[in-house]
Structure 1
Amino acid sequence: MSTGPLVTLHVWGVPGRSVPGALVRMATDRRPLRRSPGLRFAKLLGTGSGRTFTVRDADPRRWALLAVWDDERAADAFAHGAVVRRWERAAEERWSARMRPLVARGRWSRQEPFGQPRPQRWDGPVAAVTRARLATRKAVTFWRAVPPVSADLHESPGLRLAIGIGEAPLGLQGTFSVWDSAAALNFFAYDRAPHAAVVTRTAREGWYAEELFARLALLSAEGTVAGRDPLG
């Protein structure tokens, strides 16, 4: 496929004894991360089940880093650098993926992290990233609407992986999912009743102060999440 920004996701599972250190790294790694050559955008993320998007979803033993790079050379250099090495030493499980943006709309922290990619054909597995900053006054109605959609997501044909992601336990909500194909993702997004209903309500109720959706071509991945290779 055509060249463009390279998106990477690292997911690290840490043992219980390493959770305090992971919390510290979430703060201390921000400065060296920002200084990485070729970096366009990055977020250190907590993860969770994504079933309710509340504090009880959070998984303190799994952490992630989403980054957008100028090119593969910049991503390679970072992958062998000090920030990743520190996480790797603490981790008992790891998974990483490399992706190229196919479709992106919306903003994340007032930025367009994936640019404005031209639509193009991709016949391999795809990843989807959603992220939203909740409007405070709308949070309760949003949380009430989420469980049916999340339950349906985890039963949707073609889903390989789905995790909740966020910069904070509340108010900054997102998901990262991997699908067999664009067709499988489209079926969930547009043909499954629970998700279609929430899309309609989103426009009507104004749940989000900021939102983003991106579809990415999954170029490669390695490792495991919860003891399983999502693409295996």
Structure 2
Amino acid sequence: MTILSRTSFLGVKTMSNLPYSPSRSGAIQTVSLSFFRFSRGIDRLWALTMMGAARFMLPGVPGIGFWKLLGSGTGEGFTPIPNTGVYAILAVWPDAATARAQTKGAGVFRRYLARASESWTLFLSPTSVRGQWAGDTPFEITTPVEKGPLAALTRASVRPRKALKFWRRVPDISAVIGADPNVAFKIGVGEVPLLHQVTFSIWPDSQSMADFARRDGPHARAIAAVRDGDWFREELYARFRVIGERGTWGGTSPLEHIKEEQ
């Protein structure tokens, strides 16, 4: 079976024909994306130091594959000014059971949970992917496209000489996404300030995501500028089916209004 998906800045518009290939055991690769909010100054300082220290802890977590420690920008993350109160960990696991167990029980995750004033973890199953992340292809399409909430992730390594042009575009794109009544959640995070950026958003279904990507406006113009100007050294576009969550963000589940509509 081959899945044809359209991907773009949000994960829509370029073609991917990677095969859907579940493992013989039936296990489905699961990606976790954990967000942590730190309120106290001492906890924010701790979280900043963990951007270095956790690099030595995460490789030892049983079952973990590809992983990344991510900081955020101010507001919803779509600014070059660091937000010292919000951090995230992205990790790839062999199955959902391992993902759920380790993001709650592994020592490094327990440390984050103990310090954070709020946390929210999403469990995701890849449905399409194109490109690489730091030279790796971290996500495997192990689930077919189904109805229900979808997440879009874009990771870009921005060429230093193009960084100013890139960041001039971002606020307009963020405003347009935020004004779309369909988007359930959006955030900008990154590995390296200004240069290694990740955009992440959640949509009720593939149609609403595709409608936004095709619409003329700041987003479409930014995509054209990226292509014409060769802004990125490396790109990755991925889409996921949202298969679960744990915790809250802003006192509630960002997916709540999607659940109510379905």
Q: Is the 8 A contact 1:101 1:214 kept in 2?
A: yes
1:160 and 1:193 map into 2 onto residues whose CA distance is 20
Partner of 2:120: 95
User: Is 1:28 aligned to residue 79 of structure 2?
Assistant: no
Structure 1 residues 76, 228: closer, same or farther in 2, change over 3 A?
Answer: closer
Q: Deviations over 1:104-151 (max 9, x none)?
A: 111111111113x27833101011111111101111111222222111
Q: Which of 125, 137, 146 in structure 2 is aligned with 1:112?
A: 137
* Contact 2:28–2:143, Cα closer than 8 Å, also in 1: no
Equivalent residue, structure 1, for 2:179: 155
Give the 3-state SS of the residue equivalent to 1:225 in structure 2: coil
| Worse-superposed segment, 130-139 or 72-81 | 72-81
Q: Is the 8 A contact 1:4 1:70 kept in 2?
A: yes
- Deviations 1:63-105 (CA, angstroms, capped at 9, x unpaired): 1101111123432342211111101110111111111001111
CA contact (8 A) 1:131 1:172 kept: yes
Q: Report sequence identity in percent.
A: 35
In the alignment, does 2:210 pair up with 1:186? yes
Structure 1 partner of 2:95: 71
Say whether 1:220 aligns with 2:220. Answer: no
- CA change 1:53–1:173 in 2 (3 A) is farther
TM (norm. structure 1) is 0.92
User: Unaligned stretches of 5+ in structure 1?
Assistant: none
User: What is residue 83 of structure 1 aligned with on the other side?
Assistant: 108
CA distance change for structure 1 residues 119 and 15 in 2, over 3 Å: closer, same or farther?
closer
Q: How many residues align?
A: 229
Matches within 5 A, 1:33-52: 33-48=58-73, 49=75, 52=78
Give the match for residue 5 of structure 2: none
2:244 counterpart of 1:208: no
Residue aligning to 1:54: 80
Per the alignment, do residues 75 and 51 of structure 1 end up closer, same or farther by CA in structure 2, a change over 3 Å counting?
closer
Structure 2 portions without partners, runs of 5+: 1-19, 257-262
Q: Please report the TM-score for the alignment, with normalisation by the length of structure 2.
A: 0.82
2:40 aligns with one of 10, 16, 25: 16
Q: Within 1, Cα distance between the matches of 2:149 and 2:79? A: 26
Q: C-alpha displacement at 1:168, in angstroms?
A: 2.0
Measured in 2, the distance between the counterparts of 1:108 and 1:42 equals 11
Deviation of 1:44 after TM superposition, in Å, equals 0.9
Contact 1:51 1:146 in 2 (8 A): no
Residues of 2 paired with 1:82 and 1:39: CA distance? 13
CA contact (8 A) 2:122 2:246 kept: yes
Runs of 4+ in 1 over 6 A off after TM superposition: none
